[in-house]
Structure 1
Amino acid sequence: MGLVLEKDYIQYFTNNREEFQESLLSEARNVRGKIEEILLIGNIDLLSNAHKLVMYTIQGKDHELEKFAKIEGVSWASHSLTLAFKLEWVHAIRRTVWKYFQEFNKLNHIELEAESFFNTERQINDRIDKFLNELFLSYSEYKDNLIESQKTLVENLSVPIIPITSKVCVLPLIGSIDTYRIDTIEEKVLLEISRLRIGTLVIDLSGIAQMETEAIERIMKVMEGANMMGCECVITGLRPEIVRKITTIGLTFESKAQTKATLQQALEDFLR
């Protein structure tokens, strides 16, 4: 649904585009100094995009407005531009649009009846609100997908199963092992044993400085699961402090895995 006197409004905004932009920049003072920077960072022309938003709003092009909002959301998210900054810019556009509607009506001696005014107000504000809503959804969806892909990458890097031969693989663990990471280790190990048909998995713990009791017990269960799938486990690089903790809680690796002093020793044995 278009606005009352739509063509006249469009012509007025088009003819006064430069003045509109100056007025807009005076409304969004924090944005003014960032115009060139944003153009360089993300190839985003704020002024051109503001004009496009105004034209889609006046012309009632809801489909184009929604599509434009989604593209804008992805652009801002992919270049890590803040939503607060965008929100300030769009609200400045809204205020400037209403300022120019008032000037147009004054110049042309138009006095809108209450019903016509509120109808126009509803159309303009609803479309700008819809633009913001779609932009925020698009922005959030892009960020969520990015976080998920980064999470998957980190998980894969935190459980790097390295093939040595067609049947022997190494899992070097580094850093600390918490409940979340042990869940990832268990899932990744069992999946990779099935996928790669691993016969022997060498788990190197030389990079683990500390393991909580729960993590030790879960490592035991990982080895049990591997054994059930026909994969032999070999533990290397156990540090004295971890060995003491294992013996203190009455556990042993003997029934579940071989132990070797170092990863090098294990590889020499299996590659001999």
Structure 2
Amino acid sequence: MELTFNERTSIAEFITENKQHFEKKLLSEAVNVASKIKDILKKGNIDLLVNAQRLVLYVVKQREEELVQFANEEGIVWAKHSMTLAFKLEWVQAIRRTLWHFLYKYDQLSNNSNELDRFYDLEKQINEQLDQFLNTFFLSYSNYKDELISSQRKLVEHLSVPIIPVSPTVAVLPLIGMIDSYRIKTIEEKVLIDIANLKVQTLIIDLSGIVNMEKDILDHFQKVLSGVSLMGCEAVITGIRPELVRNMIHSGISFTEKADTRGTLQQTLKKYLNVDSTDNIM
């Protein structure tokens, strides 16, 4: 089947009227992508062939604002469905080659193949716009991925700060693993909010699962204890390991001014739960 051509036809119309030829050429240029087009359509409802034609028409019609908006939309969709950047790059490169093939055919049918000035103007316009699409797409993709990772991390960190009520007035916060600057901020936020929401009068913080803390984290933890006190809540720390005690001594930091310290969580729970039960009886 030959290409459809009319002398009065614009490049955009020429590509649209020869849609089947365009798609066939594009699929031949993007071998790896071609075999996965149906899977992508099924998985993410992304029609690569329709979107390719949409991109090409934005480029040849110089519709820059719509091109940038489309790139932003594509970046979010591809990131949301965990489709790789390498895959997208191969696809856009195939679109670029296919577009130039059709421009060559258009000029050939128009007998304009010797108009070098026009060729170089088109080369600059098309390549700049496709590069702008790629740059915008990658930024949109990366920003969405970063936001997704950040929100997932925040969720995980909140789940890793479990404040467990063990009586109407006493709650336990068992901390396990490494505490970095991000996590200590999460601890601070969750502790202060939960003390207010749960009306906690005594918060037992068990550090038996913490091997060590850096000096800046120790300093921040001390401020968290101050916040607990300002909320009208008593802080009790249990299970401090020798390595952490040694680091506190050398850092000149002590928790004793802000909190009561005890040996084990089990002993502390026994004491506070007994006291709480006695108070309830009285």
TM-score surpassing 0.5? Answer: yes
Q: Indicate if the aligned counterparts of 1:223 and 1:257 stay in contact, CA closer than 8 A.
A: no
Change (3 A) 1:10 1:213: closer
Greater CA deviation, 149-158 or 68-77? Answer: 149-158
Change (3 A) 1:213 1:46: closer
Letter in 1 for 2:123: E
Q: Are 1:211 and 2:216 an aligned pair?
A: no
Normalization by structure 2: what TM-score? 0.78
Question: Paired residue for 1:26, among 28, 40, 52?
Answer: 28
The aligned runs of 1:98-247 (5 Å cut-off) are 98-111=100-113, 113-164=115-166, 167-177=169-179, 181-182=183-184, 184-186=186-188, 188-190=190-192, 192-193=194-195, 198-206=200-208, 208=209, 210-212=211-213, 214=215, 219=221, 222-236=224-238, 238=239, 242-243=241-242, 246=245
Unpaired stretches in structure 2, ≥5 consecutive residues: 1-6, 278-282
Distance of 1:159 and 1:79 partners within structure 2: 30
1:96-127 CA distances to partner (integer Å, 9 max, x unpaired)? 10111101111222245333222222222222
Question: Paired residue for 2:274, among 264, 269, 272?
Answer: 269
Distance of 1:63 and 1:13 partners within structure 2: 21
Q: Secondary structure at the match of 2:121?
A: helix
Normalization by structure 1: what TM-score? 0.80
Change (3 A) 1:102 1:217: closer
Distance of 1:6 and 1:131 partners within structure 2: 29
Q: Indicate if the aligned counterparts of 2:68 and 2:136 stay in contact, CA closer than 8 A.
A: yes
Residue 170 of structure 1 deviates from its aligned partner by: 2.1
Distance of 1:41 and 1:262 partners within structure 2: 49
Unpaired stretches in structure 1, ≥5 consecutive residues: none
Q: Indicate if the aligned counterparts of 2:211 and 2:244 stay in contact, CA closer than 8 A.
A: no
Distance of 2:70 and 2:191 partners within structure 1: 44
> In structure 2, what is the equivalent of residue 257 of structure 1?
260
Greater CA deviation, 88-97 or 115-124? Answer: 115-124
Q: Indicate if the aligned counterparts of 1:182 and 1:218 stay in contact, CA closer than 8 A.
A: yes
CA RMSD of aligned residues (A): 3.2
Name the % identity.
46
1:187-220 CA distances to partner (integer Å, 9 max, x unpaired)? 54356546766431111234x1623585677655
Letter in 1 for 2:148: L
Question: Paired residue for 1:94, among 93, 96, 115?
Answer: 96
Letter in 2 for 1:151: R
> In structure 1, what is the equivalent of residue 3 of structure 2?
none
Q: Indicate if the aligned counterparts of 1:6 and 1:58 stay in contact, CA closer than 8 A.
A: no
Change (3 A) 1:116 1:210: same
